[in-house]
Structure 1
Amino acid sequence: MPPPPAHYGEGPSIWQKMKMGAIMGGGVGLTIGFIFGSWSILRQGAGPRGVLATLSQYMLSSAATFSFFLAIGSVIRSDGLPPHLQAAQMQFLAPALSVRSKAEGAQLMKARWEVERRRLAASKE
């Protein structure tokens, strides 16, 4: 299998991800607002403002809410760090994330116990 390319290209920025989340949330919110607004108008009537004003209020409020939360969620979910920060993160986290076999773990644990026994024996003397 060939090695992966050295440079993958730039992904979308956080601002672009936020805009994309807001646009997607707006679309979902408009749809949900249309469905629930229509249902509410059919069940309870349009009220004094009329059908169009009531339906548009449902749709716009739902779209604004969904847009806000999806924009925030897409920013929170963005895990893209600049390359120099990714390298630093990998450098510092690599020893803590190393996976060992059960035999290596048992050997390390026995060695630590032996060091602890020696330290306790030396402190009792």
Structure 2
Amino acid sequence: MSEPSVWTKLKMGALMGGGVGLTIGFLFGSWSIMQHGAGPRGVLSTLSKTMLSSAATFGFFLSIGSVIRNDSPILEAAHLQLVAPTPAVRSRAEGFQLMRARWEEERRRAASSRP
């Protein structure tokens, strides 16, 4: 099986964000109407505007987030080839040896750059 394309992930993120945004817009819009009243536009217009603006905002950001989190195995393999694996934890003796080797390298460079 192949992974979904970037375009498919973008659409899925937009649809999920739209659904979440509609729900949150309904909840907050209903609460706002109950608390402050519908205003001059009426209940349905106020609620639909709140729901649609919330859906658009959530859909936009979730679609971008879905594309950013595109964990392609091809990109990961390329990244692993470029980055040399280094141990996360070294012993004190290994760290000391590495530090000494770097100091010696710096001394050699400084000595060779002097006229």
Q: Normalised by the size of structure 2, how large is the TM-score?
A: 0.80
Partner residue in 2 for 1:39:
31
Matched, 1:98 2:90: no
* 1:105 partner amino acid: G
Partner residue in 1 for 2:104:
114
Runs of 5+ unmatched residues, structure 2: none
Runs of 5+ unmatched residues, structure 1: 1-8
Provide the alpha-carbon RMSD of the alignment. Answer: 2.4
The alpha-carbon distance between structure 1 residues 107 and 34, as it changes in their structure 2 partners (threshold 3 A), is: same
Distance 1:123 1:56 in 2: 73
The alpha-carbon distance between structure 1 residues 111 and 40, as it changes in their structure 2 partners (threshold 3 A), is: closer
Superposed CA offset, 1:83-112 (max 9, x none) = 2x4433222102xx3116322232122123
Q: Normalised by the size of structure 1, how large is the TM-score?
A: 0.74
Matched, 1:69 2:61: yes
Using the aligned pairs only, state the percent identity: 66
Count of paired positions: 113
Superposed CA offset, 1:49-88 (max 9, x none) = 221111111111111111111111111122325x2x4433
Segment drifting more, 27-36 vs 48-57: 48-57
